[in-house]
Amino acid sequence: MQRLTKPPAVKDPFLGVDIFAEIATRISDAIGGVISSIVQAVTGSPGNALSLAGILNGHKTELADLQDKTQALEGVIGYAHAYVDGSISTTAGEKKLAMTNQIGPKAGVVPANGSFYLSSKGLWVADAHCTFDYLNVGVTALALFIRVYTPGGTLYAQRWAVLDSDDETTLAVHMPFTVPTSGYYVEMWANAAFGRGIFGGSANNGLSVNKVSTETS
């Protein structure tokens, strides 16, 4: 019967670096240079702790950036914020307030023609606010709307705030809603007396949309 031979002893990792070099080679062949770089930093010259920390921090940043991009592609996140610049005079009846000035970045939303087009289905929340100038005489009724339209342009959902006043007044609307597919769009509308002004700028008006969930029920 053939006698089994005793396997060679593995060199103590605290006394030498041969075992680390072998591990580094195998890992590099399996998954590329990322882990290999970390192992090389461990087995390197003095200061390798700082080198290792730099590698880990660099890949942590890359992973965080990749996660953000993946979430945007999957429709996990979505947001956009904009306002109307310059004063506006309303007309008799309801008037769309086109959002022309974007605030910050956007994700999962496409601003176009003063509207916010939603790039994914799910639960969204829209917020609108608008400050109306005072009125000396005339119709004093005010209204502010958030409206959601289907991809084909049919009114899908809306919520509004109303007030009867001739004072300088701010109205706000908060509206959660769900959409079953992408392509739905959100707009802000107002109704006030002919010639009554709406103040421009982000302090006086704006529309925001934020995605809460990819689920619809």
pLDDT tens by residue, 22-37: 544 554 555 455 555 5
Domain 80-213 sits in CATH 2.60.120.40: yes
74 CB burial (10 A radius; 0-12, 13-18, 19+): exposed
* pTM of the predicted protein model: 0.67
Start-to-end CA span in the chain (Å): 71
**Long-range pairs for 174-177 at CB < 8 Å and ≥24 separation?**
174/125, 174/126, 174/127, 175/125, 175/126, 175/127, 175/128, 175/146, 175/148, 176/123, 176/124, 176/125, 176/126, 176/212, 177/123, 177/124, 177/125, 177/126, 177/148
Summarised one tens digit per residue, pLDDT across range 12-24 is: 444 444 444 554 4
Task: Spell out the domain ranges in the chain.
Answer: 18-74, 80-213
